[in-house]
Amino acid sequence: MFSGKSILITGGTGSFGKAFTRFLLENTDAKKIIVFSRDELKQYHMQKELSDPRLRFFIGDVRDLPRLQRAFSGVDIVIHAAALKQVPAMEYNPSEAVKTNILGSQNVVDAAIDQGVEKALLISTDKAVYPINLYGSTKLCAEKLFISGNALGGNTTKFSVARYGNVIGSRGSIIDVLMREKNLARVQITDEAMTRFWIHMEQALQLVLFSLEQMEGGEIFIPKIPSMKIVDVADIIAPEASKKIIGMRPGEKLHEVLLTSEESKNAKEFDDHFIIKPEFAFWDDQNHANGKEVLVKFVYSSDTNTQWLDKEQIKRLIA
């Protein structure tokens, strides 16, 4: 799939971008891999870690359409991972989230079409489902923009979405935060009943690879992944610490959802994933013909999930 291709990753210096870049360098014969981001310091450190003549670094912002047009020239595949995603910060700075997550995503769509990119995949989140915070709302808009991009791109550029939960140990995640607080006498817990979907980076990479391989353009790919209780994570990382229940922060949910009852009428289920089909008359699901229809009003939620990580499994993952 990547043989002789040029691949560009927006937000390429983030947790996912670094892992995907490393995977491409070590496992494919891609012609060129472009890391597009606005943080020159992170690019500098990434250049020190990964030395390969196929690797290119573009400083730029997805808010800047002309820069995207230049960066996308000659690119075959785009992975759009750039986003502002820290929930409390986005509640306080809503206009900045709109500029990056919504307008930036539209710029990626426009530049991909104008430059003849073959495939563009948006990295989305469970926060986009039934959004109650600005971050989730902007990611929902980004999903809609990518799906509708197929009506603009014709048969030249295909757009799809990979939607998944929290990546274990990624920067800013609860595990990352607790690991830095594990020696404290007391850790802060939002709510003892809180649950989340969890995916490790290897699973996230495999989902993206699978989505790129299977996409017809217009699908939302959702992995079947386990849930865990936030309080169990705290018990494992900081077993000696007392817990202070602080209540949910602005824009925070008690549980997360990856597939809604409204989306279920257009969803198909497979052994290890779901897809949500677009409501386009011209859409062809030949790559997904073997999936079974999802029950009407089915909801894939972190609290009603059939897959759970117990404390021993969580401990092994963290280790």
Which are the contacts of 80, defined by CB distance < 8 A and separation ≥ 6? 10, 11, 62, 105, 108, 120, 121, 122, 123, 142, 146
> To the nearest whole number, what is the mean pLDDT of the chain?
91
Decide if 179 is inside a domain.
no
Taking only the tens place, the pLDDT of each residue in 199-251 is 989 999 999 999 999 999 999 999 999 999 988 888 888 888 888 888 887 77
Structural domain contains residue 131:
yes
Task: Find the range with the poorest average confidence among 121-135, 247-261, 273-287.
Answer: 273-287
Whole domain around residue 57: which residue ranges? 6-165+198-225+260-297
Q: How far apart are CA 36 and CA 57, in angstroms?
A: 6
Inter-residue contact 33 to 7 (CB < 8 Å): yes
What band does 182 get if pLDDT is binned at 50, 70 and 90? low
Greater confidence, 168 or 8? 8
Query: The domain spanning residue 82 has which CATH number?
Result: 3.40.50.720
Looking at per-residue pLDDT, the higher value among 286 and 119 belongs to 119
Contact status, residue 186 vs residue 178, Cβ threshold 8 Å: no
302 token code pair: 């972190």
For Cα atoms 137, 103, 99, give the angle at the middle one, nearest 5 degrees: 75
Structure tokens given for 48: 């020190």
Structure tokens at 119: 């495939």
Instruction: Report whether 52 contacts 240 (CB < 8 A).
Output: no
185-195 pLDDT, tens digit each: 788 888 889 99
- Tell me what pLDDT residue 169 has: 66
The answer to whether residue 27 is domain-embedded is: yes
Give strand pairing partners of 43. none
Residue 119 lies in a domain: yes
Predicted confidence at residue 80, as pLDDT, reads 98
Residue 191 lies in a domain: no
Q: How far apart are CA 213 and CA 9, in angstroms?
A: 17
Closest CA to 33 of 11, 49, 13, 57: 57
Catalytic residue among 127, 253, 268, 277: 127
Q: What's residue 35's pLDDT?
A: 98
Q: Is 7 a residue whose pLDDT tops 90? A: yes
Which DSSP symbol is given to 308?
B
176 sits in which H/E element? helix 174-181
Spatial distance between the Cα atoms of 260 and 132, rounded to a whole number of angstroms: 14
Closest CA to 175 of 22, 26, 309, 304: 309
Mean pLDDT for 172-196 is 77
In a domain, 314, yes or no: no
The number of folded domains in the chain is: 1
Residues of the chain above pLDDT 90, percent: 66
Residue 140: name the closest of 152, 153, 157, 122 by CA.
122
Span 123-145, mean pLDDT? 95
User: Reduced to 3 states, what is the DSSP secondary structure of residue 216?
Assistant: coil
In terms of Cβ atoms closer than 10 Å to its own Cβ (0-12, 13-18, 19+), residue 315 is middle
Residue 140 lies in a domain: yes
Residue 319 lies in a domain: no
Contact indicator for 133, 90 with CB cutoff of 8 Å: yes
Quick check: is 119 catalytic?
Answer: no
pTM recorded for the entire structure: 0.92
Residue 28's SS3 state is: coil
